[in-house]
Structure 1
């Protein structure tokens, strides 16, 4: 139940933001909202009250929507599928929300109640866990990148990027009937 409610709330809030920012909703936006709602509820689905799953889902969409924009525009990171903006940021919010909304009476496996129920221990543990996870992911990624760089460059040349990777890497276009339509 918590997963469905979070997903629905996130879908609706993403569509609301799309309507305000772009004047219309899109199927891609609705699907993205649905996914980030599921991402955000995953850490706490079995530990939070149903009403809080609505809040978790409703808040994850604006967090991810503007996070995606910040990553692409301000940090100039090429994340074509918005993987980090949706899954990374949505997962971080889900971890934080678990520390806020967990209720021991829902699942006795939980050692502590969440922040909203008067206990700060789980919230602090979630923040520490998120920081450790980010540190391990960054260090692991840097190690992998360093190893890959020994064998091959990580970026194509500016010319190859302008021509397109289908042509520069494979010598043909994947969709020749669409050539020139994006200009």
Structure 2
């Protein structure tokens, strides 16, 4: 089957260009540089960086207590920078060169063979590498929210280094690389529902279980110290997500436009539905709820961004928002685990809903871009399989990464440091001088 046909039948729009970085992606005609595509991808890459710094850092930081705000900013900054350095050293080669279905090769270690005039599809390969580098960085930064207010800084960096190597890079290869385990099965994942959100959510859950609960959890008030900061972070995340989703078309074309409008509609619906769910449950509609709904909608539409119509995206965002709300407000308290920023409850749960739901939104009967003979049943089976394997891969891999660091260095700060706050105890600074 030709590559273009495989993509149309379910490999995901992002796959058509992601693998252009490798010989296996060569088309019949030699690729030529597109100034328009290159300009859009440069902008998209910077937008994804803005999602991390300062977007995600402020979103998470506002959810913490004052004494831990600076530690969150520091953790997100350091983890993102570590991911970038590791990505260009060996991560890109593992993720995007030929190898086994689960793991790429080492032919591009230290970006060997990549030059300013090397193309990946219609854009410079350096631009493609930079764009994918921001995906690795934000995925690693996402699970930091599960561990907040009690994780050691050095332990976090050590665990992230291992995690990137054994979890993120292979999973990216499986989903987006020619010959990859999920790619060859036609799994739909436009911009990272499995690679980013399910991966980060499950990894965060494993990490917080190994860390244990914060002192006073479910006993003391551990309320967010600044929902203003969280709102600013939410806005930056939403704006940056257009680079994340629409940029995953890897071209300035109609698919990017489709991903853009879906990133608007799914997110708007999810924010409204989360606040409505609060009202139905007998609570007041809250800003925190609205912000949580925004993130749930963005997460859910990520695998479907180029694989849905605008109204399919609305339904998908709404359903994911309701399910994530029920999990965060009802199921999580009963289970009793301490996922500080609800990374699993929002990214993990909404990512699972989005990944599975993409099988439906892709259907032309629901306004999706699928072919006239597209069958939901077989694709649903593929999506369920990919989701289950991604959960298993992230769960086992993150348990290994966090388990090694816990055994060698210890993951958690001392009780004294936790009570004092990580700002002073770990970094010797305060976020606020008052």
Q: Provide, for residues 71-111 of structure 1, a one-character-per-residue CA deviation record: whole Å limited to 9, x for no partner.
A: 64123222221111111111100011112232158435798
Aligned residue in 2 for 1:123: 380
Match of 2:334 in 1: 74
- For 2:331 and 2:412, locate their aligned partners in 1 and report how far apart those are by CA, in whole Å: 19
The answer (yes or no) to whether the contact 1:92–1:130 under 8 Å persists in 2 is yes
1:33 to 2:290 alignment: no
Change (3 A) 1:111 1:43: farther
> Which of these residues, 80, 83, 107, is aligned with residue 369 of structure 2?
107
TM-superposed CA distance for 1:128, in Å, is: 0.3
CA contact (8 A) 2:362 2:370 kept: no
Q: Distance in 1 between matches of 2:382 and 2:433?
A: 53
For 2:362 and 2:313, the matched residues in 1 are separated by 11
Aligned to 1:43, the other structure's residue is in SS state: coil
- The runs of 4+ residues in structure 1 deviating greater than 6 Å are none
Question: What is the match of residue 405 of structure 2?
Answer: 148
2:396 to 135, 139, 149: 139
Q: CA RMSD in A?
A: 2.6
Q: Distance in 2 between matches of 1:39 and 1:170?
A: 32
How much has 1:140 moved relative to structure 2?
0.9
Residue 316 of structure 2 is matched in structure 1 by: 56
Residue 30 of structure 1 and its aligned partner are, at CA, apart by 1.1
For residue 275 of structure 2, the aligned residue among 15, 18, 23 is 15
Deviates more, 1:130-139 or 1:57-66: 57-66
* CA 160–109 in structure 1, closer or farther in 2 if over 3 Å, else same: farther
Structure 1 residue 168, shift from structure 2 partner: 4.1
- Is 2:348 the counterpart of 1:88? yes
Which runs of 5 or more residues in structure 1 are unaligned? 115-119, 178-183
Q: TM-score, normalised by structure 1?
A: 0.79
- For CA contacts below 8 A with separation 6 or more, give which structure has more relative contact order: 2
In the alignment, the residues of structure 1 paired with residue 424 and residue 395 of structure 2 have an alpha-carbon distance, to the nearest angstrom, of: 33
Residue-by-residue CA offset, 1:17-43 (whole Å, 9 max, x unaligned): 223346422222212211211111111
1:158-179 CA distance string (max 9 Å, x none): 45434433454456754464xx
Identify unmatched segments of 5+ residues in structure 2. 1-260
* Whole-Å separation in 1 of the counterparts to 2:307 and 2:429: 52
Q: For residues 45 and 168 of structure 1, do their structure 2 counterparts lie closer, same or farther at Cα, with a shift above 3 Å needed? A: closer
SS of match in other structure, 1:135: helix
Q: TM-score by structure 2 length? A: 0.36
Q: Which sits farther off after the overlay, 85-94 or 50-59?
A: 50-59
Distance 2:406 2:354 in 1: 34
